[in-house]
Amino acid sequence: MSATPPNDDSLPRPSLWPWGYVIALAYFTLHMATATRYGYFRDALYYLACADHLAFGYVDQPPLFPFIAWIARHTLGTSLPALICWPALAGAARILLVAAFACELGAKRYGVALAAALAATPAVWWVIDHQFAMNAFEAVLWTGCAYAVLRMIQTQNAKLWLAFGAISGLGVENKYSIAIFAFALLLGLLLTRERKLLFTPWLFAGGAVAVLIFLPNLIWNIQHHWPFLELMHNIRVTGKEIAYPPGAYIGQQIVMMNPFSLPFWLGGLLFCLFSRAGKSFRAFGWAFLITFAFFLISHGKDYYSAPAYPILLAAGAVAVEQLLFRSSEQQASGRQSKWRTALKPVCFAWLAIGIALPLPLVLPLLSLDGLVRYESHSPLQPKPTERSFVGTALPQYYADEMPWQEQVAAVARVYHSLSPQEQEEAAIFCDNYGQAGAIDFFGPRYGLPRAISGHQNYFFWGPRSYTGEIVILVGEPESGARKEFSSVEVGATLDIPYAYFYETRPILLCRGLKGNLQAVWPRVKNWR
């Protein structure tokens, strides 16, 4: 391959139309068609609760996504299709952005379409883009940062550091992990001949923009004594998350991204690091390796590195296109080999087969019984990321959708068994934010008050006026409750197929807390 000069903006570029948009629309449509198949994702219920307590920070997240949840609540609404619409749109945007990235790398029409197809086929994004959660926006923001750097490389316009700073600042307000990727991009530039882009005052201007956007959350963390760092420490020392050895972690990456896409993203990495045509883009290869190494060494969850793959998928599409298409002179003289011509549609067929196999595992196409049967015969079963989900029949991301409304209905039966005076005194205390979020979301239709909990940001929202004289406990073991209350009885039992075990613990009606709830509240803090 001959070296490819930086793109000339005066030259016409291939359009993303039609295939980029067709693939993005098909992706979005499939998500919307299956939006109501199972139920509300646990984290989505929590984010909606956070949206009722807007702040510049939260124990376990920056403030951007709760604000998006607030917008969602006051625009499209909170039905399952209305909520799924947001991550599905983000997924469609990611597909178009990867296609645009490939175009900027030098892809022609075939490469642009292939990049869009590659962006739509990794299994991890079918899961993420079907959850109303911050992770769906991560890949868009990470790729946006990389795209700003790519445009800088192509145009040598250092003012684009302002765009990089704005996107990365917004990204930090969505999820802190973008800081790892942003640093990796800077280090990648430093390790290549494009390091000259770092020696400009515009870099510091872009950094100032990022800091300015991040500043409200930074101040919030300082004022609240860095709760996120305390949370991360607690997760490490309790061993909540499963730390896989390097070999298993790499294997999970291949499964997560879909084994059929491995030749493409691996080819994209080799294109960036070693090819003559990718010489100007070495920084992206280094950025991926640095990001991947960080999460590997720090025992991050497998999907933490997923937002770094779009740049490799785009580069892989360019590499495949350059392999399959001869130079314009050779094509004009008719010397293009037959096998190259035959392989052009094969790439798309290969990807279609690759996503068809795991699709029932990552998109709710089947009944729950059908899903369990399909999973038992699939070699691509996802491994749990937390110890508490080991042995569950469903993948973790589906088990977290199962019990909510049934659980709230059971709580309502206990609550309405009390006299009106007792109801005024009764607190509904939940073990985790999923249960509490479900009470807050479904509770009004059952006449329930809002829940309280010590888990994550619910701890900051406090016990309100409750004393602990009457408490309905959700998700707590009976043995632990008897140590804290004078009287404990089972108010309702739950039988919810496929739900995680602590979501089917009996609903306990407790009386006589040993100590006033206002006084003992600091002890219920549960940041893990």
Q: Give yes or no: residues 315 and 461 share one domain.
A: no
Domain that holds residue 518: 404-524
Distance CA 210, CA 181 (A): 14
Q: Give yes or no: residues 152 and 59 share one domain.
A: yes
Q: Give the C-alpha distances (Å, rounded to integers) separating 209 from 63, 95, 157, 161, 328.
A: 17, 27, 17, 9, 44
Residue 94, φ and ψ in degrees, nearest 5: -60, -40
Residue 202 inside a domain? The answer is no
Residue 427, φ and ψ in degrees, nearest 5: -100, 145
Give bridge partners of residue 137 from the DSSP assignment: none
Residue 389 inside a domain? The answer is no
Q: Give yes or no: residues 312 and 249 share one domain.
A: yes
Q: Give yes or no: residues 306 and 428 share one domain.
A: no
Residue 10 inside a domain? The answer is no
CB 407 within 8 Å of CB 494 = yes
Residue 373 inside a domain? The answer is no
pLDDT score of 50: 98
Best CA proximity match to 400, nearest among 502, 506, 249: 502
Residue 384 inside a domain? The answer is no
Residue 416 inside a domain? The answer is yes
Element (H, E) at 185: helix 178-190
Best CA proximity match to 444, nearest among 49, 152, 107, 22: 49
Which DSSP symbol is given to 241?
A: B
Residue 456's pLDDT band (cuts 50, 70, 90)? very high
Residue 201 inside a domain? The answer is no
pLDDT digits (tens, 9 = 90+) for 356-373: 999 999 999 999 999 989
Q: Please state whether beta strands 485-492 and 452-453 pair in parallel, antiparallel, or not at all (unpaired).
A: unpaired
Q: Which two tokens stand for residue 309?
A: 């793959």
Could you check whether the bond before residue 18 is cis, i.e. omega within 30 degrees of 0? yes
CB 206 within 8 Å of CB 161 = yes
Contacts of 76 (CB under 8 A, 6+ apart): 82, 83, 85, 86
Q: Give yes or no: residues 54 and 151 share one domain.
A: yes
Q: Give yes or no: residues 344 and 270 share one domain.
A: yes
Distance CA 428, CA 472 (A): 5
pLDDT digits (tens, 9 = 90+) for 198-209: 999 999 999 999
Q: Per residue in 58-81, is it b (16+ CB within 10 Å) or e — as a string?
A: bbbbbbbbbbbbbebbeeeebebe
pLDDT score of 56: 98
CB 527 within 8 Å of CB 234 = yes
- Domain count along the chain: 2
Which DSSP symbol is given to 522?
A: G
Contacts of 250 (CB under 8 A, 6+ apart): 296
Q: Give yes or no: residues 351 and 248 share one domain.
A: yes
Q: Give yes or no: residues 273 and 355 share one domain.
A: yes
- The pTM of the full predicted model, rounded to 2 decimals, is 0.93
Computed from CA positions of residues 68, 50, 494, 372, in that sequence, does the dihedral angle turn out positive or negative? positive
Residue 498's pLDDT band (cuts 50, 70, 90)? confident
Q: Give yes or no: residues 500 and 413 share one domain.
A: yes
pLDDT digits (tens, 9 = 90+) for 125-182: 999 999 999 999 999 999 999 999 999 999 999 999 999 999 999 999 999 999 999 9
Residue 162 inside a domain? The answer is no
Element (H, E) at 231: helix 227-238
pLDDT score of 327: 45
Q: Give yes or no: residues 456 and 357 share one domain.
A: no
pLDDT digits (tens, 9 = 90+) for 26-78: 999 999 999 999 999 999 999 999 999 999 999 999 999 999 999 999 999 99
Q: Which two tokens stand for residue 401?
A: 């959708």
Q: Give yes or no: residues 322 and 417 share one domain.
A: no
CB 440 within 8 Å of CB 45 = yes
Q: Give yes or no: residues 465 and 345 share one domain.
A: no
Residue 169's CB is within 10 A of a number of other CB atoms, namely 23
Could you check whether the bond before residue 310 is cis, i.e. omega within 30 degrees of 0? no
